[in-house]
Structure 1
Amino acid sequence: MWETFIEYRLYPTYIFELIAAISGIFYLYSKKKPAKADKLIVFTINLIFVIDLFAIIYSVYYHVYDYAYIEFIKETPFRTNLWIYNILTLVTGSLFTVYFLMQTQSGKLKKAIGTLVVIYIISSIIHFFTSDVFFLTTSAYVYIYGAFLICISIAAYYLELVRTERILNFRRELPLYISIGLIIYQLGITPLFIFQRYVGVSEDFSEVYGNVLDLANFFMYSVFAFGFLKVIFEIKRSRRKALN
């Protein structure tokens, strides 16, 4: 099975995800008392790595071993890994949004966007149960709605940043680095995801989409890792100044 990972170059994305996940764990250890938001973002990135890796192993196991020892799965809708990615999309869209909501002090914004998150979760679950997309394809509704929530929650965070003195210490603003990675990723992938549904039969487009998706993932997780390490450096530098 691991030969398949090497042959089809399935591993680079997961290496970057792992680097970001490990950097996040080091970030938590570098803080004496990490905030709930810090724990949430590190948990989210590690969750993405674990579920993403499980999904690809699940798929490769099917193509290489034809579900040996668990053949009963072949007769069920769970034979593909698309249901895993649909769940992951819903969970990460919600968690990233909540993370940025935790960065703002505006009660009105929190209430408004929080309500949208609840609607997103409930409506997505209903969508999964009332349509056949859950097992057949990545849900456009869940993906696009989640991207929208992430973007407006980031906008709320930026508004909080410019309105307060936090902007003076932007180098220690981990959410800033997380937001940059997410925004570039969403701007690069969401339009292609929408067009993919209309030109899905084009092999050339599928190749372009796959390459852009890989690059977007490399960039996003690299920025996440850089953000964690940068803030760790800033924390240590502040502590050294305090001792002097």
Structure 2
Amino acid sequence: MIKTLLDIINFSLILEFVAAVVATFSYIKIKKLKTQTFKFLSIYLWIVISVEVLGSYTFLICPYKFDELPFFINNPEWSKNYWLFNIYTAIAYMFYTWYFFKQLISSKKKSIVIYSMITFNIITIFDFIFGEIFFIGYSQLMNLFGLILIVMVLCMYYYEILTSDRILEITHKLPFYISVGVLLYFISVTPLFLSSQYIKSEEIVFTKYYRLILSYANYFLYGIIIFGIVKCYWFNKSQSTKFSSSPTLS
């Protein structure tokens, strides 16, 4: 039982929990800095934790012989959590795309992102329904187009920063820190999701590095989110105008 709990409660989950708590505390504490994007960032971080905890039911199936229950006997596909993490990954792509869409100024760029998001949703839903991958592995189409979507919106975001005076305050803006974490995270883990379908579970070396890369990608993403929130929060408090009209927590 203790080993099972340790499998569920790992350092990634702890970091995700801390990130959610820090974001929620900052949202409540800094009342005049409440923004739609920061509000949904806090909500999204709690969704991440919920999915991680819910998805850990697979750790309980074999040790406690849950696979012998009538439900899992009649529906063996539910004994794996691919279905849950396929849905979660789609939500992650959409959330981060929306988050940086909200940081864009150009109407033309925003229109491109909107149409791209619609296309991504259509492709993802189609693949989930007709691709026969939903229960047995990670959707390759979703991850491929999701990565393209993330890279595209981040390139637009970086371009607008580099071509405006926003670059002068870049280290005081939370979206910048999140963008670095998100970019490195998806560039690191997407190839794993794309190749995992072709690797047998018995491949110990792949499984080892798969878990290692995924773990460190999680550490970096949620670690930098925590760092960004704390840094931007204290930077804002240290200014002579404690609550500026141009919030750093956006």
TM-score, normalization: structure 1? 0.89
Distance 1:10 1:74 in 2: 28
Corresponding position: 1:134 with 2:113: no
Q: Which amino acid aligns with 2:161?
A: L
Aligned residue identity for 2:166 = R
Amino acid at match of 1:17: E
Q: Give the unaligned 5+ runs of structure 1.
A: none
Contact 1:83 1:134 in 2 (8 A): yes
Distance 2:191 2:149 in 1: 16
| Residues 188 and 212, structure 1, Cα contact 8 Å, conserved in 2 | yes
Give the Cα–Cα distance (whole angstroms) in 1 for the partners of residues 29 and 69 of structure 2: 43
Cα root mean square deviation, aligned: 2.1
Letter in 1 for 2:62: H
Aligned to 1:86: 86
- Tell me the percent identity: 26
CA contact (8 A) 2:138 2:194 kept: no
Shifted more, 34-43 versus 130-139: the winner is 34-43
Aligned counterpart, 1:29: 28
**Distance (Å, rounded) in 1 between the aligned partners of 2:68 and 2:21:** 33
CA deviation vs aligned residue, 1:3-51 (integer Å, no higher than 9, x gap): 3132x47522101111111111122123323111111222222211111
Q: Give me the whole-angstrom Cα distance separating, in 1, the residues matched to 2:8 and 2:39.
A: 31
CA 67–197 in structure 1, closer or farther in 2 if over 3 Å, else same? closer
Match of 2:216 in 1: 215
Deviates more, 1:133-142 or 1:157-166: 157-166
* Offset from partner CA, 1:52-81 (integer Å, 9 cap, x none): 22111x212322333399642442132221
Range that drifts further, 59-68 or 226-235: 59-68
User: What's 1:18 paired with?
Assistant: 17
Q: How many residues align?
A: 239
1:73-152 alignment to 2 at 5 Å? 73-76=72-75, 77-152=77-152
Q: Structure 2 CA distance, aligned partners of 1:165 and 1:49?
A: 36
What letter is aligned with 1:235? N
Point out where structure 2 has 5 or more consecutive residues left out of the alignment: 243-250
TM-score (norm 2): 0.87
Deviation at 1:195, TM superposition (A): 3.6
AA partner of residue 203 (structure 2):
S
Q: Distance in 2 between matches of 1:79 and 1:9?
A: 16
Amino acid paired to 1:232: Y
Q: 1:164: how far off?
A: 2.7
